[in-house]
Amino acid sequence: MADNPTVKKHHFKLKMPGAFFILFILTVVAVFATWTIPAGSYSKLSYNSANSELVVKNPQGKTTKLPATQKELDKLGVKIKIGQFKSGAINAAVSVPNTYERLPQHPAKLGDITGSMVNGTIEAVDIMVFIFVLGGLIGVVKASGAFETGLMALTKKTKGHEFLLIFLVSVLLVLGGTLCGIEEEAVAFYPILVPVFIAMGYDSIVSVGAIFLASSVGTSFSTINPFSVVIASNAAGINFTEGMMWRAGGLVIATIFLIWYLHWYSTKVKADPKFSYTWDDHEEFNKMWSVESTGSTEETGFTFRKKLILILFVVTFPIMVWGVMAKGWWFPTMASSFLMFAIIIMFIAGTGKYGLGETGVVDAFVAGASSLVGVSLIIGLARGINLVLNNGLISDTILQFASTLVQGMSGPLFIIVMLLIFFVLGFIVPSSSGLAVLSMPIMAPLADTVNIPRFAVVTAYQFGQYAMLFLAPTGLVMATLQMLHMRYSHWFRFVWPVVVFLLVFGGGILVTEVLVYK
């Protein structure tokens, strides 16, 4: 029988599930893990500033109060200067070496699947409010028409030199990552930069590469980042300047690799848009992020009002970076700063002959905030997975297994295995500061047993954890992909060479450190 040419053949392709479904499955897996992995805990050490005393809480929950002296820390085997506790440089509970104990199983209940989602969202409320305020601010700026006219002016001036912007953004965010640990804060840069990249002919991958990937490469090779290398070094009992030259040298080479990789990919996409790894979804992405005025203003041209709105909008970002670096701002303060500028911009956009009016600017703010609800919920769901693991008392069991695994190894083998251990731990504990205070008091002393420097363990922690954070759904990745409506499979296709580079290149640096030290 002859084939009917009018009959269409359907090709079925396996489609990667969305961010919410992936996190739901991981939550279920985490719950089942608490049923199978033995429960256990280390004793935890904290500092009570009110009474100037050390408090040790053993795995059974019994607390012991000790004088806040270096002698007591040395007795506990905690190689951290007492001044680090008193100054507040270390303000989280620290694991005490050689105190691990098995505990009765503490399995999560089926109800904890949804309960962890709610509690994780509550824990993430500070960053969620920041994202809502950011979305509202952008909604007002877009409604005013300032984005649209400003973008047209920018694209005309950069014609023929489009990659220069990618280069500058990437370098600035690499510096932000290595100096002050810009990660979640980088979310604020998408609304201002993504429409620009679209107008220049690039795709969503380029946007994430120049912002998220660049800041993460910077944090992978942190030099003075207080949220990773400084906390980790303090917890390891060393000065954070130890090993800095190795990290700084690696940062230069890694940045060169990143710029080359972004140039290669962006050039391919520019020449042939169908080369884009996200071509299947490009229409939806462009529709969402292409800048169009959403207000009813009849004001035309790049007027003084629009210029003033854009200037105020852009100024919010360097102020945020300054606040984080110089004043130690966290999300509530950043949200307050953005809200202040949003109110000023709402007043400018809402008044005058061509103003949007009070109702118009409020509606624009609410619409902008609501557009980022999905991103905020993703962050909360990811936090929920960590809550399940911690409440199930299996995180310390995994850490104990890892510490016994590396005992008795040669220096080079030890540090490579340590790199892989931190790669795995980065999935379980995606917080850089959280993993530092959890693992360093246990892992760093192991370096002494194989006669290698402790800063090598700190460096392995940085390379391993951040290589995982490029991939781990429990970290910032899923929120970023949700914000740009990008499939995880598309992101994985782009980022896996960077992960391989970081592990191979980072492993080479670590082995060289060990061999030179010996």
Question: With 70 as the cut, is the pLDDT of residue 82 above it?
Answer: yes
Specify the higher pLDDT residue, 199 or 109. 109
Higher pLDDT, 217 or 93: 217
Q: What is the model's pLDDT at position 233?
A: 87
Task: Identify the CA nearest to 482 among candidates 135, 111, 30.
Answer: 135
Within 10 angstroms of residue 452's Cβ, the number of other Cβ atoms is 23
Tokens 């670096």 correspond to: 325
* DSSP class per residue in 380-442: HHHHHHHHHHHHTT-HHHHHHHHHHHTTT--HHHHHHHHHHHHHHHHHH---HHHHHHHHHHH
Q: What is the mean pLDDT of residues 274-283?
A: 85
77: pLDDT strictly greater than 50:
yes
Supply the DSSP symbol for 184: G
List pLDDT tens digits, range 116-169: 989 988 988 888 898 899 889 888 888 888 877 776 777 777 777 778 888 988
CA distance 147 to 153: 10
Max mean pLDDT among 66-75, 93-102, 455-464, 467-476 falls in 455-464
Q: What is the DSSP string of 42-57?
A: --EEEEETTTTEEEEE
Q: For residues 492 and 414, what is the distance between their CA atoms, to the nearest angstrom? A: 29
Confidence of residue 318 (pLDDT cuts 50, 70, 90): confident
C-beta of residue 254 within 8 angstroms of C-beta of residue 475: no
Torsional sign, CA 128, 129, 130, 135: positive
Which pairs count as long-range contacts for 11-20, CB under 8 Å and 24+ apart, including other chains?
Answer: 15/487, 15/489, 16/487, 16/488, 16/489, 18/487, 19/378, 19/473, 19/478, 19/479, 19/481, 19/482, 19/488, 20/374, 20/377, 20/378, 20/381
What's residue 296's pLDDT? 47
Asked whether the predicted pLDDT for residue 463 surpasses 50, the reply is yes
Mean pLDDT of 427-438: 81
Q: pLDDT confidence of 497, banded at 50, 70, 90?
A: very high
Q: Is the pLDDT of residue 202 over 70?
A: yes
pLDDT of 2 strictly over 60 = no
Q: How high is the pLDDT of residue 12? A: 45
The predicted model gives 259-266 an average pLDDT of 96
Report the mean per-residue pLDDT for the chain: 84
Model pLDDT, residue 291: 55
Q: pTM for the complete prediction?
A: 0.75
Mean pLDDT of 494-506: 95
Task: Inform me whether the pLDDT recorded for 3 exceeds 50.
Answer: no
pLDDT at 353 over 60: yes
SS (H, E, C) 77-129: CCCCCHHHHHCCCCCCCEECCCCCEECCCCCCCCHHHHHHHHHHHHHCHHHHH
Tell me which of 44-53, 112-121, 333-342, 399-408 is least confident: 399-408
Which pLDDT score is estimated for 239? 82
| pLDDT one-digit tens code per residue, 7-60 | 444 444 556 666 788 888 888 998 999 999 999 999 999 898 888 899 999 999
pLDDT band with cut points at 50, 70 and 90 for residue 78: confident
